[in-house]
Structure 1
Amino acid sequence: MGCCISQFACCCGPASCALCCSCLPPVNESTSTRGMYTILLTFIFIIQCLTLIPDLQNLLEEHVVNISEICQQLKSDSECDMVVGYKAVYRLSLAVVIFYFLHVLLTAFVPSSNHWRASIQNGYWGFKFLVLIGLCVAAFFIPTEFSIYWMYVGMTGGVLFILLQLILLVDFTHSWNARWNGRKRGQRNKCGFVGTVVVAALLFAVTILGMVFLFFYYGWQGCTTNHIFLSVNIGLCALLTFLTLLPCTMKRNPNAGLLQASVICVYVVYLTWSGLTSEPPEEIENLLDTLFGKTMALISVDTSTTTQSTAKTGQVTSRSSSHAYNYTSSCRPDPAFPQADRIASYAGLVIMFIMAIYS
């Protein structure tokens, strides 16, 4: 009976949630609150992943009003399902932003955990979930015209969140490096030092392989924009590693090392990959196929002069020559695997979820 009352107070009252079992250890209020927010973020994370499933995208397109209008504006029927899925992720993110913004307004400048407004942070979880679900549903009925402005807000927030992720990664790797090297205990651990060097070497190997694969799949001849992105990021990774090895850096921060640089370099590879999959495909002319096509067209024209149907053959060769001259390809991997771009989207959601939980 007491368990039911406590859980009811957690859902509808100011009390924090607890483990309702005598065999489990007691849970602090702060730990319980973090656990509930983790469940809430996991709930939203799963829904966002589900909206990227093609079957659910078709369901949204059929039943949600005006969600497919952006496909008509972009004149993209073949990729409409993917656009609808990304738009759904934006709408759900808007609901989460509004939810936490209201939370900030209600709990700003709370002096202590005993204040009555602190109960808004630690309790009323049933009402919170209902409000969040209501905001998620309402977000899908916002007019399409608002989506353009929200995308700019989302890009700005994405930049700020990337900077926050970098700060969290640096903080995480500093703690990791200090723990393995024994600096927190005031003594140097040789085994831990070797471990950090091995992990850093593996991460640098992943960085090099990642950049090689990105150049192989996105850095074709003529893909100038992709070449610039890849070259700049490779240079920044090399500069970061060089600055980490400088004696003045080690003197100013003894906890600095290759482990931090390797983790950031791997993260830069991911960001580069995500950017290359998100940009509009750059169209290039395939020079080899064009020359081959022109040569075959000229041969066809030459042989057609010896036949009786010169006019008809001329029309055919003229079209083949025009087709050969206008042959283009995009700076993307082989389209035989159309789900390749979705992998970056899922990876981004996973990284965002991990960083949000770690923070």
Structure 2
Amino acid sequence: MKPMKIHSQVKPSVRIGWLVALALAAGVVSRAGAQILELEPRAVVSGARVLLQDIVRPGISLPEGWGNRSIAAAPSPRETKVLPLTEVAQAMNEYDDMRHVVLRGKPVIQVSAKHRSVDVVRIQQAVDDYTRVRDKWQDRRFEVAADLLSLPHVPEGTLDVEVVRMREKTGTDPVSADIQLIVDGESYGEGPVTVELMEMQPFWAATRPLVRGESLTTDMIEMRWLAERDATRYYPATHPIEGMELRRNVQAGQLLASGMLAEPVYARRGEIVRVVSRRGGLTVTLRARALANGRREERILCLNEQSGRRMQVRLVQPRAAILEDESGDSAT
């Protein structure tokens, strides 16, 4: 195997460089089909690999297929890599049709890589795909907690994100996911990167515009998932709100926040209320007339239609109540 010829141009040795250039040129003329490649002293690459087309001077015509041949690994984002000309020659010597190429350039090439931060949306999509097909996680939802400044940087190129594993919350450590970054089909970095996740909960939102005073029915509301940090602001889906009354107008898709709803009116002044009184093993049902409006679980005064006595009752259903004793406890 004949080694590739290298012409290294070093500024302090201009005269020697010209002599070597003339000698190499004479060798090229005597060897039919040889190719002279002028290399750049600096190069900026895209992707995870340094390609031949990245380091050749502009205007040089390369044979078909040569430009995309890999020479070396690209440097890490925000770093500069020193690529010796000898390393370029060794890489090209792996290709049978490139062993007679003559390289001309500085002894080393300064290589940097275009880079970008990983889009948090790509990580979120990978987490969603992972949890969707695993029994342990499929009934739960998570939000990636990373901000743009904390996300890793990768070379430009086709990026794929793969979740390797997820870990449950332990102590003060939140739920987390180990992700593998893949650029142009090759794993990038020294190993998986860990990102924190926030568990989400379902909350109630309006399915259509709603008007103040309306009582909610099941077709008016739907679940919307939010991070746990918002748990105190909105009504969680674990809290039943059917029958509650709107205190103000609500837009379609709007989350129902605390203070937007009032308990439903269970009795209005003058209506007949069925009152249940339990004392010992005896249960008695009375008819009473409401002396005030009252909502669910509120206590109001009613007038016993039979005895004419006033009594305090607690509303538990529309026009249905439980008799309270003087201490405020249900009569038993």
Specify the TM-score bucket, using the shorter chain as the normaliser. under 0.3
Q: What is the TM-score when the length of structure 2 is the normalising length?
A: 0.24
* More helix as a share of residues: 1
Q: Which has the higher strand share?
A: 2
Larger RCO, structures 1/2 (Cα 8 Å, 6+ apart): 1
TM-score normalised to structure 1 length: 0.23
